[in-house]
Amino acid sequence: MIPTPALVVERTALDHNIATIGITLPGAKLRPHVKAFKCTALAHRLVAAGHSSFTCATVREVEGMALAGLGEDLLLANEVLDRNQLKRLAAVEANVTLAVDSSEGIARAAAVGILNVLIDVDVGLPRCGCSPDDAGRLADQARAAGMHVRGVMGYEGHLMMVRDRAERISKVEHSMSKLLRAADAVGGELVSGGGTGTYDTNTWANEIQAGTFLLGDTQYASLDLPFRQAVHVECSILSLNPKGWAVANAGLKALGMDHGNPSWAGGEVLYCSDEHTTLTAGEGVDLELDQRVRLDPAHLDPTVARHEEMWLVDGDDVLERLPIDLRHW
């Protein structure tokens, strides 16, 4: 029996999500972001579906993907300035591309022998990325240092949760116009961007870096997306209070909470504490001590990062243990 709290993944929902995104983004049009699921076993399933290039967020993810034989085309879509981490990245036996947005970042990457870069462009999210007007200069600097500039990337993360579809399309078009302007100055074959929230509305990037689609969370479930909730935090009822609430053995240390409480199909989540979640059952729902319930996380990525393994299931049948082997930095 699976020890709780634990991540469980419904196989039928997982298979549906992989098949569904492949209709819109077949093959190399999807560059799945492994930060969302941090599991090379799931990455192998995506390769089997035709997606062999991946996005990573950390050096550790790049190293782990390469060790798992998944290094055909890895993009580290994050700036790295730490010289020791850059040396680790340069030593990876894989085809690795690094995102850069500054002269210093290019110089440090070139100094350790990193060969492939994308110019990271600010398209409206107040995070990393150079000005579109500076992208051409940075590309010239990288080429002068002997690097291959594969193109540009820009993440419209500020638009992922725009509820109205027409508004989302309009705002993504405006955001991507900045990236296309930079692409004209930079050259190269890649215009990389997007995420689960804009996977089918960003038609300007030629590859989409979606990740949450694979397993799902309740934030993205609020949009008009065709994906199913595949991952749940399975936990056990520890206590039943005569005043009407129940307590499950999963809390802040098992759930990513930055997007709010998890959801529970059987009733309401009152609040989460370190090791507990307090629930009230809905009408007609009876709970017993040691009964198992499944919570749906509000934010997938940090939820997965709190666990060492997930379990592939078909209903109550456990099919496979999947190590979360890309954890940590």
Burial 256-286 (b: 16+ CB within 10 A, else e): bbebebbbbebbebeebeeebbbbbbeeeee
Strands 277-281 and 246-248, bridge-based pairing: antiparallel
Same domain, 240 and 135: no
Q: Are residues 266 and 168 in the same domain?
A: no
* Torsion angle in degrees (nearest 10) through CA of 325, 40, 302, 156: 140
CB atoms within 10 A of CB 317: 8
- Say if 115 falls within a structural domain: yes
User: Phi then psi for 177, rounded to 5 degrees?
Assistant: -60, -35
Q: Do 292 and 235 meet the contact criterion of CB atoms below 8 Å apart?
A: yes
d(CA 245, CA 243): 6
Question: What is the total count of domains within the chain?
Answer: 2
Q: Considering the domain boundaries, does residue 224 fall inside one?
A: no
Is 5 within the bounds of a domain?
A: no
Domain limits at 50? Answer: 11-216
Determine, yes or no, domain membership for 52: yes
Same domain, yes or no: 74 and 16: yes
Which residues make Cβ contacts (< 8 Å) with residue 203, sequence separation at least 6? Answer: none
Is pLDDT at 1 greater than 90 in this prediction? no
Beta strands in 43-176 (DSSP E): 53-56, 73-76, 96-100, 116-120, 148-154
Q: Which of 189, 216, 243 is the last residue of a domain?
A: 216
Positive or negative, the CA dihedral 25, 31, 36, 41 is: positive
Residue 159 within any structural domain of the chain: yes
Would you call 315 helix, strand, or coil by DSSP?
Answer: coil
Same domain, 205 and 264: no
* DSSP-assigned letters across all residues of 150-215: EEEEE--GGGTT--SHHHHHHHHHHHHHHHHHHHHHH-SSEEEE--GGGTTT--SSSEE---GGGT
Q: Quick: pLDDT tens for 248-276.
A: 999 999 999 999 999 999 999 999 999 99
CATH number for the domain including 310? 2.40.37.20
CATH code of the domain containing 57: 3.20.20.10
Residues 168 and 198 in one domain: yes
Q: Are 119 and 100 in contact (CB under 8 A)?
A: yes
pLDDT tens digits, residue range 239-251? 999 999 999 999 9
Is 225 inside a domain boundary? no
Give ∠ CA 288-294-299 in degrees, rounded to 5. 145
- Same domain? 288 vs 177: no
Residue 59 lies in a domain: yes
Q: Give per-residue pLDDT as tens, 5-15.
A: 999 999 999 99
164 and 76, same domain (yes or no): yes
What local confidence, expressed as pLDDT, does residue 264 receive?
Answer: 98
Does residue 252 lie within any of the structural domains?
yes
Same domain, 191 and 237: no
Of 193, 216, 239, which marks where a domain is finished? 216
Going by C-alpha positions, the residue among 200, 108, 206, 92 that lies closest to residue 150 is: 206
- 119, with CB counted inside 10 A (0-12, 13-18, 19+), is buried
Domain match, 145 and 236 both: no
Does one domain contain both 35 and 92? yes
pLDDT, tens digit, 9 for 90 and up, residues 19-63: 999 999 999 999 999 999 999 999 999 999 999 999 999 999 999
Question: Are residues 37 and 137 part of one domain?
Answer: yes
Antiparallel, parallel or unpaired: β 73-76 and 96-100: parallel
- Work out whether strand 6-10 and strand 231-240 pair parallel, antiparallel, or are unpaired: antiparallel
Last residue of a domain, one of 216, 243, 270: 216
The average confidence (pLDDT) of the chain is 97
Percent of the chain, pLDDT > 70? 100
Q: Are 272 and 257 spatial neighbours (Cβ–Cβ below 8 Å)?
A: yes
Residue 314's DSSP bridge partners are 317
pLDDT tens digit sequence for 144-181: 999 999 999 999 999 999 999 999 999 999 999 999 99
Helix axes 165-186, 135-144, angle to 10 degrees: 40
Classify strands 190-193 and 148-154 as parallel, antiparallel or unpaired: parallel
Residues 106, 69 within the same domain:
yes
Instruction: Give the N- to C-terminal CA distance of the chain in Å, as an integer.
Output: 31
